[in-house]
A and B are shown apart, each in its own frame.
Chain A
Amino acid sequence: MRPITTRDPSKERSRLRLIVVRVLVFSLFATLFARLYYLQVVSGDSYRQAAASQSLREVVVQPQRGLIVDDQGRPLVTNRTAWEVSVDRTLLGKLSSHDRSVLLHRLADAVRVPLKRVEQALVTCGDSGSKRGRCWNGSPYQPVPVANDVPQSVALRILEQPEDYPAVVTQQQSVRAYPQPYGVNLADIVGYLSPITAGELERAKKDDDDSVNGASTVGRAGIEEEYDRYLRGRPGYQKVAVDSMGRVLGQEGVDRDHPGDTLVTSIDARVQSVAERALHDAITTARATYDPVTHRNYRADSGAAIVLQAQTGRVVAMASQPTYDPAQWVGGVSSKELARLYSAKAGDPLLARAYQGQFAPGSTWKPIMTVGAFNNDLGPTTRLDCSAGFMVGNRLFHNYESASYGMIDFAKALQISCDTFFYRVGYHFWQKYGQDPTNVHARDPLVSEAKAFGFGRPTGIDVPGEASGRIADRRWKLAYWKSMKGYYCGIDKHPPAGTSAYLKLFAHEFCLEGSYYRAGDAVNFTIGQGDTLVTPLQLARAYAALANGGTLYEPRIAKAIVSPNGKVVKRIEPKIQSRVKDPAHGIAYVTNALLGTAVTGTMAWKMTGFPLDQVHIRSKTGSAEVWGKQSTSWVASYDKNYVVLMMVTQGGTGSGTSGPYVRKIWEALYGVHGSSVDRKDALIPGVVAPDALPSFQSDGSILPPKPRFAGRHGRSQP
C-alpha cells in the first residue's frame, strides 16, 4: 500500500473501515462458496433425485369454439363444458410395470372405456403397435386424452383420489352443444366435429399454423368445416412442472387461448323449424298414402326442403331427410353409431339430400325449358297440341294420365304441366338442329338454357361436398357410352349363362348405338326425365333466378364473422355466379304464367282458400318418374322475396305430397291464417329476412337486428 502522507483522522478512520469492509466482503463470498459446496457436493444427490423426479407437462387449453347463430342472433350451436380424463405419459413411464397395469385397469373401469382402447390411445402414432385413428398424434409432453365427456361424478372421484390415480389428469373441456331453438336439427347445414387426423396436423405444422394441436377437433362437414379456421380459435399453451406424483409445481410460459369467432348465418331458426316439420309431416303423410301405380304405400325414403332469399341467394332454411342428431358426434362417435350413419339401410343419413342428393327434376324443369324456347324462335304466341300422346320414331310418349287439352300456349302448358306440349318443343329443336344423332356438336338451345341456369355444376354454396348434378346432353351420352361399351359389348358377344332376353337386346343396342342422341332423348330432356339429375339446391337457385330476373347467386349460409368481443371481422356478401341472358323476356312470361298454377293449374286443389291476391306465389309441381321406383314428388315455388322448394323421393305426385306442406311454409313466412294475412305474425319480423346483423352486446347477449318493415308496398308484387 501507498504510504499515507497526511495525518487526517477522517482518512485514518476510513482506512480502518475499508479493512472492515474487506473482511465483510470476504466472509460473504466465503459463505457463498460454503453454500455452493453444501448444495452441490454434500446434498447433491438428493437434488439430483429431485431433478429426475420432476417433469414438464405441456398443458393445452383448447379454445372455445365460436358460436353459430341465426339471422336473429339465436344460438344454433354453442359450447358446454365436459370433463376430459387424460394420462401424462411421462409420469406413467416412471411407474413400475405392475403399478402401471393396475392404474390402467382402474382407470379403464372408472371411465368405462375398454382397457384395450385406453392402451391404444396412449401409443404415439407411428410407433410400433400404433393403431390408426386410435393412436396419439400430439406432443409427447402433453397428457393424452383417454375419455371424453365423462360424467362429473366420475371426474370428481378421480380428482379427489390423486393417490389412486397417479399420472391421471382430469380437466374441463369445452365441447359442442346444440340448444336447438324451436326444435331445429340443422345437422346437414352445421356438420359435426371429429379429432384431427395425422395428415391434417402435418399440414398445419408445415404451414406454421398453431391453431391446432394433437388433441384438436376440427369441423368435418357443413359450415363447421367450411368456416373452421374462423370458428376454431387458438389454443393456449402452458408448460407446467410436475413432481413425481403429477402434482403441479408451477408454471412457465403461459400462452393464452383465444376463443373462436362467432358465425352469423342467414338461417332463421323459426323458418328452419317450420321447414323441418313440414318435410317430416310430408314424409309421414306420404308413407300413409296408397300408391295406385305400385299398389302399396309410398316409401317416401328421403326428402329435402329449402327456403332461399330470392333476391340474394341466402339460405333461410334447408332441411334433409333422413338426418341425424349432430350431438352424437360430441365426445367421439361409437362404432355402432358410425355404422348406422354410413348405412344404406338407414337411408345414408350423412348424405344431405338438399345439396348432395341428385334427382330427376321432372316437370319442375319446364319453366327453364320455356325460357330456353323463348330465346330461340318460340314465344308467347306459340300454340302447340297438348295431346294424349306423341309419337317419336317408333315410340309413343304419353301425356301424364293420358289427358288431352287441345291447342294451348306455354302459360297453360306450364300451369297444367302438359308433357306432350313440351315433347313437341323438344322435338322441334331436335329436328331443327340435331337430326344427326352422332353429332355431339349439334346446337341444343334447351341444353344451353339449362346450363345457363346453373345446372350440371356446383352452385358454390358455402358447405363442402356439394354434388354437381348432371345434364344428359350429347357429350355426356357419348362419354357414358365410351365408359360402358366394354361391359355391354362383352355381354352382347358372349352373353353369360342366364342373361335375360331383355338384357341381351339392350346390350346389343347399347353396344351398337348407345352414344346416339335421338329424338327420344331430346323430348325426354324437356320434361326433366331421362338421365338428367339436379340437386334440390340447384333447382331452388334456378327458381331464385326466375324470381330476381335472372341472377344466379352462389347460395350463402354464412352472413358474417364476428369476433368474440362483438366486432364484425368479415361480412360475407352474396356472390353472383352468373346471369341468365333473357332477351325474349321468357323469365317475366314464366313468372306471370306460374301464378296460374295455384289458381287453375296443378297446385289449385291444394291452395284453395289461400290469399293468393296478397301473397303472390308462383309454383310448379313435378312428379319425376324413376325407373324401378315410385315417383319423386316436387314442388318449387317463389315470390318476390322467397323461394320455397320441397321434394320427397318415392313420395308420389308433386302437389299431392309436397303441395300442402309447401303451403304451410308459405303461410308461416307471411303470417297467413286461413284466407287472411297478418304480417305481424310472420315468422321473420318484417316478413323479409333482415339484411342487418344481430348486435353483440358487451355482456355477451345478442340482440336481433331491427326488422325490415316492408310496409304495404313491400308485399310481393305480381
Chain B
Amino acid sequence: MTTTPSRTSRSLRAPGIDRVLMLAVLGLLVLGTLLVWSATSHRDDLTGGDPTAYLRKQLVNVCIGLVLMVVVMATDHRWVRIVAPLVYLASIGGLVLVLTAGTTINGSRSWIDVAGMSIQPSEFAKLAVVIGMALLVAERNEGRRTRVGAIEVVGMLTIAAIPAALILMQPDLGTLLVLSATVFGVLAIAGAPRRWLAFLAAGGLVAAVTVFAGDLLKEYQVDRFLAFTNPDLDPRGAGYNTEQARIAVGNGGLFGQGLFHGSQTRAGFVPEQHTDFIFTVAGEELGMIGAGVLIGLLALVIWRALAISALSTDVFGRVAAAGIACWLGFQAFWNVGMCLGIMPVTGVPLPFVSYGGSSMFAGLLAIGLLQNIHLRATATQPTRYARPLRPGHLVSR
C-alpha cells in the first residue's frame, strides 16, 4: 500500500520477492491480530480473565506462520516438487486421523489435538490439493504432452476427490465448498477442455440439489442456508448469527466506532467473532474505510497471486499460483460475504485475519510458495542454475 505505483511496476520485473504481495500480507497480519485482540479482550469466558490471552496466542501463530513462509521461499523449487507429494500424503493422513481421533467443535469433527494445539488438517488439505494437481499437470506437460485431456482431468480430480471425501465425512461444508471452487479454478487454468468444465459445473449443480433434497446435510447446515435467504424468519435460531453480524457491520457506519470501542463487539453479540466473523469487528470498529482497506488488501493478495501465475514460465508455477489465488480469493469472498449477509454461514476463516493456527500456517505456506514461484520466474539466470535462497539474502534486499 505504501509503495508508489512506479516502484511497483518496476518490482514486477525485478528479480527477487514480490514486495507488494509481501506488504499486503503483512498488513493483513497486523490488522488481523489487532482485530482478534479487540474481539477477545473483554471475553472473560474465553480468555479466563486475561485480556491479552488471544493476542499472544495469535502472535505465536503469526510468528510460526512467517517462519514456515520464509522456509518455503528459501527452498529450491525442485525440492518443492519433491516434497509436494509428501505434503499431500501428510494432509490425507491428518484427515484420516481427524476422523478416528479428532475432537468435535461446533458439530463437526475437524480438529486433532497435537501438543496442546488444535490442528485442523483440512486447512492444509486445500494447499496440498493445489500443489498435487499442479504437479500432475506439470509432470504430464513436461513429458512432451502439451494437451490437457481426459486422463489429466481424471487424474487431477482423483487427487482432489480423496481429501474431499474425507472432509465430507467430518462434515466440514465450508472447506468442501472452498475446495470445490479451487479445484474448478485449477482445472480451468491448467487448460482442461471446455466440455469437461461444463460437465463438472453441471455435476456440481446436480450434487448440490441432491444433497439438499436427499437429507444428506446435517440439520443445522440446512437451517443456516435457509436462514441466509431470510434472516428475519427466526432471529433467535439459525438466522441469529447472520443478523447479528449485519447489525454489527451496519453499526460501524463510514468511519467506525474506533478499535476496541464497538458496542456490539464489546457486548459479544456476534458469535464466533474472533474466528469466522472477525470481519464484523473491522466493520463495526473501523467502519467502511477500515473494512474497505481490509478487502482491498485481500484483493491485492489475489491480484498478485494471479499476476505471479501469469508471470510464471513453467506449468507448475502457473497452475499452482492460480490455484492458490482461486482458493484464497474464493475463501475471502465467502467469509466476508457471510459477514455481510450475502453468503450462507459455513465455517470458513478469513485468510491471514481470523484467529487460528492451521488457517494461518496454510495461508502463509501458500504465500511462501507464491514468492518461491515469483523468485524463479524473475530470476535472470536459467532455472537449473538457480541457487537456493537463504533468509539472510532476503533481508539484505
**A33 contacts partner chain B, Cβ-Cβ < 8 Å:** yes
Q: Chain A, 18-53, contact with B by CB distance < 8 Å: what is the 0/1 string?
A: 101110011011011101110111011011101100
Return the chain B residue nearest A42 by Cβ.
B250
B302 and A31: CB pair below 8 A? no
Choose among B191, B267, B295, B303 the residue that contacts A33 (Cβ–Cβ < 8 A). Answer: B295
CB-contacts of A1-17 with B (<8 A):
1-2, 8-11, 13-15, 17
CA distance A1 to B318 in the complex (A): 14
Given contacts A249-B236, A249-B240, contact A56 B191 (CB under 8 A): no
Residues on the A chain within 8 Å of B264, using CB: 51, 54
Choose among B45, B251, B302 the residue that contacts A48 (Cβ–Cβ < 8 A). Answer: B251
**B147 contacts partner chain A, Cβ-Cβ < 8 Å:** yes
Give how many B residues have a beta carbon under 8 Å from the other chain's beta carbons: 61
A29 and B299: CB pair below 8 A? yes
**B196 contacts partner chain A, Cβ-Cβ < 8 Å:** no
A250 and B240: CB pair below 8 A? yes
B247 and A252: CB pair below 8 A? no
Given contacts A37-B288, A41-B288, contact A29 B298 (CB under 8 A): yes
Given contacts A29-B298, A40-B254, A255-B45, contact A1 B236 (CB under 8 A): no
CA distance A506 to B350 in the complex (A): 94
Given contacts A35-B340, A54-B269, contact A17 B302 (CB under 8 A): no
A13 and B306: CB pair below 8 A? no
Looking at B64-72, B166-174, B325-333, the stretch in contact with chain A turns out to be B325-333
**A248 contacts partner chain B, Cβ-Cβ < 8 Å:** yes
Choose among B185, B248, B254, B271 the residue that contacts A21 (Cβ–Cβ < 8 A). Answer: B185
A35 and B263: CB pair below 8 A? no
Choose among B45, B247, B325, B377 the residue that contacts A47 (Cβ–Cβ < 8 A). Answer: B247
B299 and A46: CB pair below 8 A? no
Return the chain B residue nearest A248 by Cβ.
B236
Given contacts A31-B342, A253-B268, contact A36 B292 (CB under 8 A): yes
Return the chain A residue nearest B267 by Cβ.
A56
CA distance A48 to B262 in the complex (A): 11
B118 vs chain A, min Cβ distance (A): 19
B254 and A1: CB pair below 8 A? no
Q: Chain A, 570-601, contact with B by CB distance < 8 Å: what is the 0/1 string?
A: 00000000000000000000000000000000
A14 and B190: CB pair below 8 A? yes
CB-contacts of B227-260 with A (<8 A):
235-237, 240-241, 243-244, 246-254
B159 vs chain A, min Cβ distance (A): 18
**A241 contacts partner chain B, Cβ-Cβ < 8 Å:** yes
Q: Chain A, 67-91, contact with B by CB distance < 8 Å: what is the 0/1 string?
A: 0000000000000000000000000
Q: Chain B, 311-343, contact with A by CB distance < 8 Å: what is the 0/1 string?
A: 101000011001001100100010011001110
**B309 contacts partner chain A, Cβ-Cβ < 8 Å:** yes
CA distance A67 to B146 in the complex (A): 80
CA distance A36 to B306 in the complex (A): 24
B250 and A28: CB pair below 8 A? no
Q: Chain B, 2-17, contact with A by CB distance < 8 Å: what is the 0/1 string?
A: 0000000000000000
**B357 contacts partner chain A, Cβ-Cβ < 8 Å:** no
Residues on the A chain within 8 Å of B322, using CB: 14, 18, 21
Interface centre among A11, A37, A54, A55 (most CB of B within 10 A): A54
A18 and B310: CB pair below 8 A? yes
CA distance A458 to B139 in the complex (A): 92
Interface centre among A11, A37, A241 (most CB of B within 10 A): A241
Q: Chain A, 206-243, contact with B by CB distance < 8 Å: what is the 0/1 string?
A: 00000000000000000000000000000000010101
**B351 contacts partner chain A, Cβ-Cβ < 8 Å:** no
B309 and A8: CB pair below 8 A? no
A21 and B333: CB pair below 8 A? no
B116 vs chain A, min Cβ distance (A): 23
Residues on the A chain within 8 Å of B292, using CB: 33, 36
**B163 contacts partner chain A, Cβ-Cβ < 8 Å:** no
A41 and B306: CB pair below 8 A? no
Choose among B43, B250, B267, B319 the residue that contacts A44 (Cβ–Cβ < 8 A). Answer: B250
Given contacts A2-B311, A241-B244, contact A11 B269 (CB under 8 A): no
Given contacts A2-B311, A10-B147, A37-B288, contact A47 B251 (CB under 8 A): yes
A250 and B146: CB pair below 8 A? no
Return the chain A residue nearest B262 by Cβ.
A51
Return the chain A residue nearest B289 by Cβ.
A40
Interface centre among B241, B288, B325, B326 (most CB of A within 10 A): B288
Given contacts A18-B322, A47-B246, A54-B247, contact A10 B310 (CB under 8 A): no
CA distance A18 to B264 in the complex (A): 41
A25 and B189: CB pair below 8 A? no
CA distance A39 to B256 in the complex (A): 12
**B291 contacts partner chain A, Cβ-Cβ < 8 Å:** yes
A213 vs chain B, min Cβ distance (A): 15
B269 and A36: CB pair below 8 A? no
Residues on the B chain within 8 Å of A248, using CB: 236
Choose among A8, A15, A241 the residue that contacts B269 (Cβ–Cβ < 8 A). Answer: A241
A28 and B283: CB pair below 8 A? no
Given contacts A21-B326, A32-B340, contact A51 B250 (CB under 8 A): yes
B191 and A32: CB pair below 8 A? no
Q: Chain B, 173-197, contact with A by CB distance < 8 Å: what is the 0/1 string?
A: 0000000000001001111000000
CA distance A138 to B185 in the complex (A): 57
B264 vs chain A, min Cβ distance (A): 5
Given contacts A36-B295, A56-B269, contact A43 B250 (CB under 8 A): yes
Given contacts A17-B191, A39-B249, A250-B236, contact A25 B302 (CB under 8 A): yes
Residues on the B chain within 8 Å of A239, using CB: 268
**B157 contacts partner chain A, Cβ-Cβ < 8 Å:** no
B250 and A46: CB pair below 8 A? yes
CA distance A46 to B342 in the complex (A): 18
B247 and A51: CB pair below 8 A? yes
CA distance A48 to B250 in the complex (A): 6
Given contacts A18-B189, A18-B309, A33-B295, contact A40 B250 (CB under 8 A): yes
Residues on the A chain within 8 Å of B96, using CB: none
B149 vs chain A, min Cβ distance (A): 10
B306 and A21: CB pair below 8 A? yes
B283 and A32: CB pair below 8 A? no
A357 vs chain B, min Cβ distance (A): 48
**B363 contacts partner chain A, Cβ-Cβ < 8 Å:** no
**B287 contacts partner chain A, Cβ-Cβ < 8 Å:** yes
B235 and A249: CB pair below 8 A? yes
**B148 contacts partner chain A, Cβ-Cβ < 8 Å:** yes
A204 vs chain B, min Cβ distance (A): 16
B306 and A18: CB pair below 8 A? yes
CB-contacts of B71-97 with A (<8 A):
none
Return the chain B residue nearest A141 by Cβ.
B267
Return the chain B residue nearest A47 by Cβ.
B250
Residues on the A chain within 8 Å of B250, using CB: 39-40, 43-44, 46-48, 50-51
CA distance A2 to B295 in the complex (A): 28
B181 vs chain A, min Cβ distance (A): 10
Given contacts A1-B310, A10-B146, contact A17 B188 (CB under 8 A): yes
CA distance A493 to B147 in the complex (A): 129
A526 vs chain B, min Cβ distance (A): 65
B247 and A40: CB pair below 8 A? no
Return the chain A residue nearest B288 by Cβ.
A40
A40 and B235: CB pair below 8 A? no
B325 and A40: CB pair below 8 A? no
Return the chain A residue nearest B12 by Cβ.
A1
List residues of chain A with CB under 8 Å of any chain B CB.
1-2, 8-11, 13-15, 17-18, 20-22, 25-26, 28-29, 31-33, 35-37, 39-41, 43-44, 46-48, 50-51, 54-56, 239, 241, 243, 247-250, 252-253, 255
Known: A25-B306, A250-B244. 4 other contacts (CB 8 A): A28-B333, A29-B295, A39-B340, A54-B264
15 residue pairs A–B, Cβ–Cβ below 8 Å: A9-B147, A10-B191, A11-B318, A14-B189, A22-B306, A29-B333, A36-B291, A40-B253, A40-B288, A48-B253, A51-B247, A54-B269, A241-B267, A249-B236, A250-B244
Which 7 pairs, one residue from A and one from B, show the smallest C-beta to C-beta distance? Answer: A47-B250, A250-B240, A10-B191, A51-B251, A253-B45, A40-B288, A35-B340
